[in-house]
Each structure stands twice: as C-alpha cells, then as structure tokens.
Structure 1
Amino acid sequence: MTVSNSEYLHKILLSPVYEAAVKTDLVKMERLSEEFGNQIFLKREDQQPVKSFKLRGAYNRISQLSQEQLDAGVIAASAGNHAQGVAYSAKRKGIKAVIVMPETTPEIKIEAVRNFGGEWVEVVLHGTNFDAASKYSRELAAKQGYTLIPPFDDPDVIAGQGTIAREMLEQQPDIDTLFVAVGGGGLISGIAVFLKQLKPDIKIIAVESDESACLQAALQAGKPVELPSVGIFADGVAVKLIGEEPFRLCQQYVDEVITVNSDEICAAIKDIFDDTRVIAEPAGALSVAAIRKYLQANPGVKNHQIGGILCGANINFHTLRYVSERCELGEQKEVVFATQLPEKTGAFRQFCSLLGGRAITEFNYRYANPKQAHVFVGLKLREGRKEFERITQTLTAQHYPVSDLSDNEMAKLHVRYMVGGRPIGLKNERIYSFQFPEHPGALMTFLDTLGERWDITLFHYRNHGAADGLVLVGFDIPPASQGDFDQHLEQLGYLFVEQTDNPAYKFFLSDIEG
C-alpha cells in the first residue's frame, strides 16, 4: 500500500507510540565532536524498554488494528529486535502474539522475547534460518487468522519509526546532516519522509554494512534486488532485500549511501562507549561508523550539526571479545601485516629497530626454511595509514617485504591464530571458508554430506557471538575429483568461499614446497 507523503506526516504526528515507547535522549558526543570539529549528536534508542527502536514501528502497527484483529492475535517472524518489539507491544495491548524464530536462535534471544511478552506471547521455533521461519509465519497467519506484523515494509511500521525524526527536530532543530542505518529500510524511510518535508535542506545519509548493502544494490538497479548472501556480524541489518515502500521513499529522499565494514563498526562501538558508556550492538553503531568515515574522507567539513542514531543495544556479550580485537583496526590505529625475517642472529632486533619504537601488538613467528622465517605482525599506529606507508617503505628498503593484511578477513579471523604449521608435500590442498549455523548437528551434517572421500587437512573454527560460526577448512582434493567435490558443496547448502589463493594462506599455511 502506497501512502502519500503528507499522509505520512499525519500518521507520524498522531502516532500513539508513547503508550509503550519513551522519548529518548539526544546526547552530544563530546569526544567525537572535539576530534572532528563538528557538533555530533546521538539519538539514544537503546533507552527504549526493549533496547531498540523497533518497538515504535511494532506498536504503531498493532495500534491501527481493528478490535476483531486484536482479538484474533498477531504474528511475526524474527530472531532479533522486531520480535522483542512485537512481544512487548502485545503485552501492553493485552493480545496474543506468536513469534516464529529459527531453531538456531540463541536461547538468550528466545528468553528475551518470552520475558518481554510474558503470558501473552507464544514462541514457535521453525526451520534453520530466517527465510524458513518467515514462510511458516505467513502460513500460520493464513491458517489461524493472525495479523502479520512486518518488520519494515509497511506504512504504519514506517510511521512508527518516523516518530524518532519528530523528536530529533524538537531536540536539535539545527541538525543539517543525519546518518541512519539501513536494514530493510523502515527506519530511514520513516525519518526521511518526515524531515525532508519540514526541512528540505537536511542531508540524509544512509548507512549499510558492506556485507548487506541492499539499498545500494537497489538504487543501482532502479528496483529492489535480492542479495545472494549477507554478513552475520551486524545481524540487525542483515537483510537481503529492501522493502518496496521503504525503497520508494529512499529513492525520493535519501541523498547518499555509505557502506562500512566490520572493523569500522567495531571502532564505532568503542566511540559510543567512550562518549556514553553504553555498549551498542553492531547494527546500532552503523551511523557513528559512517560519521567517522565521512569526516575522515572530508576533512574540510567543520562546524556542522551532525546526527546519528544508536538504534539498538541488544548485543551478545561474547561478541565483545571480537569488537575489542578489531576496533583499533577500524580506527586505523593498528595495522597487521606479514613479512619475512632472515634466519640469522640479530634479525629480529634489527626488524624491531626499524619500527622506530612503535608498539608491537602481535608477533607470530614460524620457521619456514633454513634461510628465512615468516612472521605475522600487529603494530600500533599514531598517524593512521600514511604512517604505515612510511613504515612499509622503510622495511622494504631493508629487504623486509611487507604484505598488508589489515583488510584480509581470512587473515584476521583465522590465520593469525594458526601461524605455526605447514604441510610438506601436500600438493592438492584446497582451502574454503564456511558459515556454519550455530545449532547441534551442524558439523555432522557437514561431514555426512562430504562423506569420507576427501581428507580434511586443516580446520579452524571461530565464533563471535553470532548465529553462525566462521570455519576455515582444508581438503586434500585430487584434480580428477574436484567436480564431484564441488557438487557436494552445493548440496551442503552452507555459504562458502574458496580461499586457496588468499595471500595469508599462501604465506603462512600452504605447502612450503608448493
């Protein structure tokens, strides 16, 4: 259903969201403002009862239902903040809500939904991914007469999220640039349709994870297009296909799209913590990640009134170790690289002296042959990437070849923990990275599908608190059986990427004589 722009204003201004939601603070980020010479403000949607903005859209949508629809109950498919928003709204309205979640959903999220909804909520676990859960929710809605509460592609949901813009305009009417995270598009479309009608000169910048940039893809194609896959770190915005109605509004009102990577998101989580002592979830920190990236790329932008939205703080505690590990890379205060040291007395001392007293954060050494050793190095930076360019020139001039691994995900996720082992004479090794669903039996499914035809030569597993685990696997695959192996991978159904040509693998883990 298409709603006129003026009708959106009407819906937002008259929305009853404050029966359940609260008017959240708009706080100045003092440290970030001083660093970049601008006034930077953060909208604290972590202050909502469910710790995210999703409550606004869910409650507004439910509030528009007829009494007959309320009596029949509502249903939603979600493993995240939307589920909690619907559960809380149902409890406030005193109506039944069914929340369909994948069987792989962590128990902590299931319990959160049950706690927010109490006796009014029934949690149904179905399928091993969101698509299966979503399909089943639609089947239940048709069969049982429930009203489906969509997460973003609905005018009333969009209008509910748009109440954030109404508050921000009251709290800081001089904001001239606003950064907004994008998943399915409900948040940014609600905010943009309100602000652009009342303040046409405001710049609205959409922010996406570079692993789930569905708005950017849609704008390039001129229509919503489904991404083949999405990343798992910023799971709150991990949406393959932007909504039809959000896309229509974004086409009309969004001025620019910026994508950020996982390291930049981790740096933003730290920025938010430094200024507010609040720990944002990865998706909740997207706007601040983009603010830092935008201002670094445009140093002439000064004395502006800039806004961002902390759209959620439902972070898995175990994700923090990954955030801490990666934030300085995102801030460009650390670099990781590979180099070679000659196997001779004093080589390590000479190498360190060339670094000019800079702090080494990591040093992984592996004997390669009688003439040289390979090392994985982490180094603190004082002046960002330009400083590393000078270091590279210095090391190269002294015959220490440098391979920058700061943007190499396989190196950062796996190889840095594996420096220390090389096969000898293993000519047919192929390396693949996988996303494993975090549920019992995932490994056995993997092994059963591949059978016993190909020997596993390497296996490294990493979990950073997400719904999927990250796995690096090596196989001994004779060339004649590569076609059969590829067919087995397709049957498996897990996301995978071949990494055999990855320089980090070649440098530290491949056959030394290969």
Structure 2
Amino acid sequence: MSVMQSYLNRILTARVYDVAIESPLDPAPNLSLRTGNHVLLKREDMQPVFSFKLRGAYNKMSHLTAAQLERGVIAASAGNHAQGVALSAQKMGCKATIVMPVTTPQIKVDAVTSRGAEAILHGDSYSDAYTYALELKQQQKLTFVHPYDDPDVIAGQGTIGMEILRQHSHPIHAIFAPIGGGGLISGVAAYVKAVRPEIRVIGVQPVESDAMSRSVQAGRRVRLEHVGLFADGVAVKQVGQETFRLCCDLVDEIVLVDTDAICAAIKDVFEDTRTSLEPAGALAIAGAKLYADREKIKGQTLVAIASGANMNFDRLRFIAERAELGEKREAILAVSIPETPGSFRKFCTLLGQRNITEFNYRYANPMEAHVFVGVQVKNQQETGKLLATLARHTLSAVDFTDNEIAKLHVRHLVGGRAPGLQDEILFRFEFPERPGALMNFLNSMNHSWNISLFHYRNHGADYGRVLIGMQVPHQDKKPLRIFLDNLGYRYWDESDNPAYRLFLN
C-alpha cells in the first residue's frame, strides 16, 4: 500500500466527530471582490475550542489503550493543541498535563485549565515546552500526544481536506493552509492529492517562523535559532520528520508573509465574518492574497483555512494599527516644511481630501519643521503620487511605511521640549471625524499665529482627539477666545497641565 493510500484510509476512518463539527466553507464576498477571485474560508475557528487542533488530538487519543488513558496523557503546545487535548481528555475521562510556552496568550491557558487539564508554563517557544514535556513524560510514565508529528494526528487534521472537497465539488485552483510543525497541511495534502491531484496545496508561514520553508529548500530539517512570536500558534523551531517528508512530496509551494500582511488578513476576515482570527489563524488568508496578487490570477476559486481564533483582546490594538499598513492603504511619511506661518496649512492643502490617520509635529528650530503623518491611500501607487506632489511643491518627504522603527516607536516619540519658544498655549480639541475638519481649523485661525505642536491619532471614534500648541501673543487673547468659540469644536485649555509642563514646555 502506498503512503498516500495509507493516509487516505486513516483519514476516511478518523474519529473526530465525537468532539469536532464539520466546519462551514463560507464565501468571503469582500475579499473575493478585492482579489477578483472566489475566496472561500474553511471556518475551523468555529470549532468548540475555536481551532482545528481538536481533530488530531482526539483521533490520536481514540487510538490509545485503556492502560495508556489510565496513566494519563501529556502534550506540549502553544495553546490550540493544548485545548484539543484538554477537551479530548475531558471527553474520555482521563488526566491531561499540558506544557505551554510562557508567551502563550492567557486566553489559551485559561481555556485549558477550564477543561480540567493541568497547565505548566515553561520556555519561550513551543520547542522549549516540547523538550520539558518529554522529560515529564519519562518521569511520570505518561503518554505523549504530539501536536503534529504523528500519523493519527495528521489523519485527524486531514479530515479538513476531506470536508473541503465534499463541500465544494466544483474546480478549486488552490487550498491554502498555515504551517507550524506541518500537521495540518500534511493531512490536507495527503487527502487532496489522493483524490483531486490537480488542486494546488500551498502552505503559508510567517517570515519570522519559516522552519518548513527553509527545510524544504535545504532538503533536510532545519532548526531555527529564533522564531517570531506574533503568530504564536506556528512558532516552531523545527518541523516534524513525518510532516517534513509529506510536505516535500505533496505540498506545491510555501509562501511567506510578514506581520503587517497577517494583520491585514485579520481585518479582511473580520469585515466578511465579524470574527477576529488569531494571527496564526489568518496566515492562510494572507498567503492567498499574496499568491493571487503575485500570480495575477482572476476568477479562480481559492480556499483558505481559517485555522483558529484564540487571541488575547489586548492584541487587537496593535493589529488594528498595522492592518492598513499591511494592505498598503496607509502611508507613513516624514515631511520637512519651512517654519513659517502658513506652511503647515499649505502642507495640509496638498494632502487633499485624504483621511489623516495620525499627525505628529513639534517646533524644532526657527528654520524647518519635521512632520510625522499617517495618510489613508488606496494603494502603493497613490503613495508614490502623493510623494511626487509634495516634491513638486518643494516639500521634502521620506516614506516610512516599511520602516519598523518608525512604525513601532518613533510615531509615539515625536515631540519634546522646544527651547526658546515664546507665547505658547496648549489646547486639547475634539475635531469632527470628517474630511475638512482640520482645514476648517487652519483657515479660521489668525494666520499670524504659529502652530508649534500638533498631535492627532485616529481612535476609531466619531470625533478626533487633537492636541495643538499655538504661539499667540498676549494681546491676542480676546481674538483667540472669539476664534475658539466660533469654531464650534469642543476644547480644553491644557497650558497648566503638569504633563505638558514636565515633558513639552
């Protein structure tokens, strides 16, 4: 019997539906429209543990003897396999111990303990947790349930491929699956290539956790020294022996995506389903988008496995901030403008009706000012046109859209004290969150007053929170009050705020 036939039999007889559902294969209308292809999402995020991992875990444990179950099981996991083992153990009435990296999101740790399993946090990555779990296995005579490098686990995950082909009998150009250790894509590829070999099976990995991609290229299993932890569900330093063999034989291609692309994919899925995937869960969607753009394909059916939705809520802030960058729908620019009254207004006029996502400016010297600005654009080409427009008007600009330091740190550090600045007063405003609100402010204010500080970030509310410093001579206090009252925006005088006094004044 061939290896493929052997796996086909294992998948067809896998016991997964005692705990798993046959997840829907849902259309993604917005994503389909934008890519020009028919994109379908295999919704494994809708499983009872919000991940596909329970399939392989339960199938493996259903093959254990009564004596093995009596002694108990142990597993190492970044979270989702842990929940699958915990649920399976609860269903079968056996003890489960899970070793998880200390970096595991708390939501996953809580989900494991809530099902009666013991969670032990050890190491910074899955590989660290795996090594420690093997030690405990030997000490306590437990049965190890591997998250990916086991034929029964691989077969359990392969039922996803079986369901996809049953749910969509029409032509499929490619199926995209995330790769950590390789269990999911190995199972899917084993079934799909046995039944519909013309369908491409494409793996997706983060650029910071690309162990399988490097291993396939090298022709041997490569061990990474470090792995990125943003997509913690696939943060694996070395792939399995069996999964490596299957991926070399059956997987057509592996594509790599960065953090911004993953964040953009999370947003794409949310817009189509109102569900927030975890980073590893959105990998396949990011890969499908990259592949469709690279190959310039149109009108094809692309299936992406939405593999999990176990994410800490506090990660959403970072994801929302990076999603537009990943889609190239936000440009981050540093622009130098003359330090003269009216130059700030001229710069804002050149931005046109584009939505401003962030605006940071602080007076630096009498000659030149540096503005850090985020602008919504349609695509990368529009960013290029905007840079050309600024250059034609003698405003020097640098594109920081792909600059990690700028995106992670500098955008939050722009500011500081301005030595020798005279007559500065500070106001906090609520601007209407609509195009033209800033220009209305600039056109209404006295053009002899100089703006010495400006900070704005889009917070997703129906108004913008803006901090503005202005140099207004003492004799202009009355005109200033008239200007503020006529403007109609809510405002607060923060000139005596201790935070301003300590860090900005």
TM-score scaled by length of structure 1: 0.78
What amino acid is aligned across from residue 39 of structure 1 in structure 2? Answer: H
Cα separation, partners in 2 of 1:297 and 1:124, compared to 1, 3 Å: closer
**Cα distance in structure 2, aligned partners of 1:381 and 1:16:** 49
Residue in structure 1 matching 2:174, options 170, 174, 177: 177
Aligned to 2:479: none
Superposed displacement of residue 312, structure 1: 0.2
**Cα distance in structure 2, aligned partners of 1:90 and 1:340:** 62
Check conservation: 2:105, 2:312, Cα contact below 8 A.
Answer: no
Give SS of 1:201's match: coil
**1:191 to 2:188 alignment:** yes
Check conservation: 1:265, 1:282, Cα contact below 8 A.
Answer: yes
Identity of aligned residues (%): 52
5 Å-filtered alignment, 1:293-304, equals 293-299=290-296, 301-304=297-300
Superposed displacement of residue 403, structure 1: 1.7
Check conservation: 2:78, 2:232, Cα contact below 8 A.
Answer: no
**Cα distance in structure 2, aligned partners of 1:136 and 1:422:** 51
What amino acid is aligned across from residue 411 of structure 2 in structure 1? Answer: R
Aligned to 2:376: 380
Give SS of 2:17's match: helix
**Cα distance in structure 2, aligned partners of 1:364 and 1:93:** 58
Give SS of 2:302's match: strand
**1:359 to 2:358 alignment:** no
Check conservation: 1:46, 1:53, Cα contact below 8 A.
Answer: yes
What amino acid is aligned across from residue 137 of structure 1 in structure 2? Answer: A
Residue in structure 2 matching 1:241, options 238, 242, 258: 238
**Cα distance in structure 1, aligned partners of 2:295 and 2:342:** 44
Q: Structure 1, residues 167-219: CA drift from partner, whole Å, max 9, x if none?
A: 11100022221111111111111100110111111011111111111122112
Q: Structure 1, residues 128-170: CA drift from partner, whole Å, max 9, x if none?
A: 6544432221111112111111111111111110000001110
Superposed displacement of residue 264, structure 1: 1.2
**1:393 to 2:388 alignment:** yes
5 Å-filtered alignment, 1:36-75, equals 36-75=35-74
Superposed displacement of residue 258, structure 1: 1.4
Cα separation, partners in 2 of 1:396 and 1:90, compared to 1, 3 Å: same
5 Å-filtered alignment, 1:42-441, equals 42-103=41-102, 105-116=104-115, 118=116, 121-127=117-123, 130-174=126-170, 175-299=172-296, 301-382=297-378, 384-421=379-416
Where structure 2 has 5 or more consecutive residues not aligned to the other structure, the ranges are 420-505
Cα separation, partners in 2 of 1:76 and 1:378, compared to 1, 3 Å: same
Check conservation: 2:105, 2:311, Cα contact below 8 A.
Answer: no
**Cα distance in structure 2, aligned partners of 1:403 and 1:287:** 33
What amino acid is aligned across from residue 158 of structure 2 in structure 1? Answer: G
Superposed displacement of residue 308, structure 1: 0.5
Q: Which moved more, 1:100-109 or 1:301-310?
A: 100-109
Superposed displacement of residue 323, structure 1: 1.4
Check conservation: 1:24, 1:45, Cα contact below 8 A.
Answer: yes
**Cα distance in structure 1, aligned partners of 2:103 and 2:267:** 29
**Cα distance in structure 2, aligned partners of 1:422 and 1:150:** 56
Check conservation: 1:3, 1:155, Cα contact below 8 A.
Answer: no
| Alignment length (residue pairs) | 418
Check conservation: 1:279, 1:313, Cα contact below 8 A.
Answer: yes
Give SS of 2:204's match: strand
**Cα distance in structure 1, aligned partners of 2:50 and 2:169:** 25
**Cα distance in structure 2, aligned partners of 1:308 and 1:129:** 26
Superposed displacement of residue 107, structure 1: 4.2
**Cα distance in structure 2, aligned partners of 1:42 and 1:104:** 28
TM-score scaled by length of structure 2: 0.79
RMSD over aligned Cα atoms: 2.0
Superposed displacement of residue 113, structure 1: 0.3
Q: Which has the larger radius of gyration?
A: 2
Cα separation, partners in 2 of 1:85 and 1:218, compared to 1, 3 Å: same
Aligned to 1:7: 6
Superposed displacement of residue 79, structure 1: 3.6
Aligned to 2:459: none
Cα separation, partners in 2 of 1:106 and 1:44, compared to 1, 3 Å: closer
Check conservation: 1:72, 1:96, Cα contact below 8 A.
Answer: yes
